[in-house]
């Protein structure tokens, strides 16, 4: 089967091949476009990804920094405090634990596809754990960076309550991903098991 | 702001229909509608980041991120019972069972690169934009995915050749 044959077979299986779409001139399209254009340019919706432009890693730094600067602006995802000491330096990035009621949380299987949508990911070794803070020495940035240390704030009882979030142990290696200033849970962040490592490699390895 | 609105309208004219298809291919219609609204918000806010000449693949990358966020949001809303059952989001209905079934058995990353190639019609350079990797890496991921799909289809043909079906039994399996 040639590449063309394969592409044709896939095209035949395209679920949107004959889907009726709203034209750009439809009332719904106009409403959505107007809503976007009248939205506040200074904030980021909770569903906004920090998508990296092709082949450039610097904008991620800006995105991560912006997320921290926005602390206190009311974003439910920004779980860290507004203490100036929380601001990231060139060497330290601060992340929080996502808001959310553990009783109604749910998870899909961990997959490279889900991981690949996350703007921050790194491998690190836990250097300290105290009542409300976990520090990790970064050993490899998959996406984002280049801070050498990541501090996870609010990692106390809520971390335990968020099912699927790992219990951090000093000296252990972890794979950590994050979006909107909060680490991802549901098994997407966890001890560096071969399975999770394979998922990270697939999602961020670039080949 | 006038200029920005015009630039956004021009971008929307290019990406509106492709983005609708992209989302319809990957999630239920109601979810696609919500995610499309999110994508447009992000495109408006990040308009200055749109790479000239690669606006569509860049918009796919934005949609990919929004969809991933929507999936995570959906995960959070599902019940603990569903968490235990670890249900996947429903796959969109597809008309060609043999190919779609083979696609579903591939690794998710392989299946997605094939969808982007065949359904969105992206070549490695634009695939690289969506997948956030080099063009060389995108080409090699595409090649690997094609090989995996061919292998799946070959296995299906092999097993179909050995399968016997008798009249009155209905469809196999």
Domain assignments of chain B as residue spans, ordered by start:
1-93, 95-173
pLDDT tens, chain A, 207 aa long: 899 999 999 998 888 887 788 899 999 899 999 989 988 775 444 333 343 333 333 333 333 333 322 222 222 222 222 222 223 334 678 887 776 655 555 566 778 888 888 889 999 998 888 777 888 988 888 888 777 888 887 666 556 556 455 567 888 889 999 887 788 877 788 888 888 899 998 898 744
Please judge whether B44 and A39 are an interchain contact, meaning their C-beta atoms are less than 8 angstroms apart: yes
- Cβ partners under 8 Å of residue B135, min gap 6: B124, B125, B127, B128
Residues 46-85 of A with CB under 8 A from B: 46-55, 59
Chain B residues in contact with A24 (beta carbon < 8 A): 12-13, 16-17
Chain A residues in contact with B114 (beta carbon < 8 A): 10
**ipTM exceeds 0.85, yes or no:** no
Taking the CA of residue A178 and the nearest CA in chain B, the distance in Å comes to 11
Give the Cβ contact number of residue B95 at 10 Å.
12
Please judge whether B42 and A51 are an interchain contact, meaning their C-beta atoms are less than 8 angstroms apart: yes
DSSP state of B171: S
CATH label, B95-173, candidates 3.30.465.10, 3.40.50.2000, 1.10.10.10, 3.40.50.300? 1.10.10.10
CA nearest A47: which of B82, B43, B143, B129? B43
Enter the pTM of the model.
0.53
**Are the C-beta atoms of residues A37 and B44 closer than 8 Å to each other?**
yes
Pairwise CA distance, residues B111 & B133, whole Å: 17
The CATH T-level fold of domain B1-93 is Rna Polymerase Sigma Factor; Chain: A (1.10.1740)
Q: Is the domain covering A58-204 a CATH 3.10.510.20 domain?
A: no
Domain assignments of chain A as residue spans, ordered by start:
58-204
Q: Which of B17, B75, B128 sits opposite A54 (nearest CB)?
A: B128
């Amino acid at each position: 089967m040639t590449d063309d044959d394969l592409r044709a077979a896939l095209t035949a299986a395209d679920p949107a091949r004959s889907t009726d779409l709203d034209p750009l001139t439809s009332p719904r399209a106009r409403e959505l476009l107007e809503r976007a254009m009248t939205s506040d340019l200074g904030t980021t919706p909770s569903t906004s990804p920090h998508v990296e432009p092709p082949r450039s890693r610097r904008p991620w730094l800006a995105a991560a920094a912006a997320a921290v600067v926005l602390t206190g602006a009311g974003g439910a995802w920004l779980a860290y405090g507004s203490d100036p000491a929380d601001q990231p330096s060139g060497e330290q990035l601060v992340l929080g634990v996502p808001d959310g009621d553990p009783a109604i949380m749910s998870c899909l299987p961990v997959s490279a596809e889900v991981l690949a949508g996350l703007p921050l990911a790194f491998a690190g070794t836990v250097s300290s754990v105290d009542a409300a803070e976990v520090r990790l020495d970064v050993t490899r940035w998959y996406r984002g960076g280049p801070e050498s240390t990541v501090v996870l704030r609010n990692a106390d009882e809520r971390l335990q309550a968020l099912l699927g979030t790992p219990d951090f142990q000093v000296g252990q290696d972890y794979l950590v991903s994050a979006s909107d200033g909060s680490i991802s849970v549901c098994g997407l962040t966890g001890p560096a098991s071969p399975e999770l490592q394979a998922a990270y490699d697939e999602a961020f390895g670039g080949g | 702001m006038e200029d920005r609105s015009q630039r956004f309208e021009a971008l929307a004219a290019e990406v509106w229909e492709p983005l609708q298809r992209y989302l319809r291919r990957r999630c239920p219609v109601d979810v696609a509608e919500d995610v499309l609204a999110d994508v447009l918000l992000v495109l408006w806010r990040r308009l200055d980041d749109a790479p000239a000449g690669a606006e569509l693949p860049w918009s796919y990358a934005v949609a990919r991120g929004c969809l991933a966020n929507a999936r995570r949001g959906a995960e959070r809303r599902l019940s603990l019972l569903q968490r235990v059952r670890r249900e996947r989001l429903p796959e969109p209905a597809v008309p060609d069972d043999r190919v779609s079934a083979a696609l579903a058995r591939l690794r998710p990353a392989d299946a997605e690169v094939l969808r982007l190639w065949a359904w969105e019609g992206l070549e490695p350079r634009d695939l690289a934009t969506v997948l956030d990797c080099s063009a060389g890496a995108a080409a090699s991921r595409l090649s690997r995915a094609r090989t995996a799909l061919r292998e799946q289809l070959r296995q299906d043909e092999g097993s179909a050749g050995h399968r016997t079906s008798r009249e009155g039994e209905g469809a196999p399996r």
